[in-house]
Amino acid sequence: MNFDLPEELQDIKKLARDFAEKEVLPTVDADDKAHRFRRDLVKKMGELGFLGFVIPEEYGGNGLGYLALAIVCEEIGRVSSSLRVVFPANILGPGLAIWRYGNEELKRKYLPGLTSGELLGCFALTEPNAGSDLASMKTRATLNGDYYVLNGSKMWISLSPIADIALVYAYTDPTRRVKGMSAFIVDMKSDGITVEPIKEKLGLWSSPTGIITFENCKVPKENLLGEEGQGFVICMQQLDNTRLASAAGAVGIAQACLDAAIQYATTREQFGQQIGRFQMVQDWVAQMVVDIEAARLLTYRAAFLKDKGVPNTRETSIAKLLASEAANKCADYALRIYSAYGYSEEYPVARLFRDAKLYQIVEGTSNIHKLIISQDALGYRKANKSF
């Protein structure tokens, strides 16, 4: 067992950190306050190859794998959770689904743009009454000649107000429950699509979120991924991968909280000494360090298993759960160390605290991951099934 990163991945980590600190960090707070998404930064990420790790070279990627992606997700998430959203929205959602299940025309049409950052994607799964309960989805796709006619509504869809394409899940045969679910690639400029931005959010102010409504939207039948009824399998595979990006992003934000806490604790003085000298502050710092180290190793393990091509739902859920909880714990402790200053938007801890909360919700809530892990341990439902 070797815990050392290969030299190539060490170089990628350094490249990602340099990019995040030089290109993203200088304007991250201003962008956040202005609710400004930086599409120019996405294109730079594409130029650096960050969006092509899990896509073959023939379609614009570089094929370096999931561990490379997790490392870069962590570094980007450490500086901007809003920008980190691009990884699941572009590649781990639509990109991988197109590569695995799309026809050659779809691959040639969309994958180079998604990996270069010229195109922005999103995936439309959640509905007003169907979050964790996918089976209660109401969106329908009905075949009519050369087109599927799409009707329904999707909610809390990251990047949907600015996305070029969407991976959309809908029922083609609702009588079969999840076996009647299908997946489609939809051009977001198609007639019959309206997007309403969700403007009031707790965090990720630089990452636009919206409600998508489909009203008799025509989708070419060639945009069906795989076959009718394969949507649930595609969705489960997608979530296994987008959850890795969430775990890595959560590790990043936890590390940012620790970095900020250490910087403040070693410069702020009270009662004649640095507050880092106080035992209670040291207790918080120690807990943060331990949780971050554990979450990072578990996230890297999940990525390693993905690169090996073995089932890893259990390991991915473990990593996502621990990393999400660690991010929130570290944000809480960092705010306590900053005290009143942490409550001010003048310091980054307030943004980190707001952004951390999302990780307990997105890509399966913490409670959903507890169910996956516990039911596997109890033998009620094995997590690592081959789809």
Active-site amino acid positions: 363
CB atoms within 10 A of CB 206: 25
Phi and psi torsions of 139, nearest 5°: -65, 135
CA angle, residues 357, 164, 39, in degrees to nearest 5: 60
SS3 at position 211: strand
Burial of residue 308 (CB within 10 Å: 0-12, 13-18, 19+) is exposed
For 81, 173, 174, 379, the CA distances from 178, given in Å and listed in that order, are: 32, 9, 8, 22
d(CA 57, CA 290): 38
d(CA 325, CA 310): 26
Task: Copy the structure tokens of residue 91.
Answer: 């590649």
Cα dihedral 297→386→52→1 (10° resolution): 30
Task: Copy the structure tokens of residue 319.
Answer: 């990593």
Residue type for position 50: F
Q: H or E element: which one contains 109?
A: helix 104-116
Unique residue bearing structure tokens 């959903």: 368
SS3 content of the chain, % helix, strand, coil (to 5): 60, 15, 25
Give the end-to-end CA distance of the chain in Å, rounded to a whole number: 28
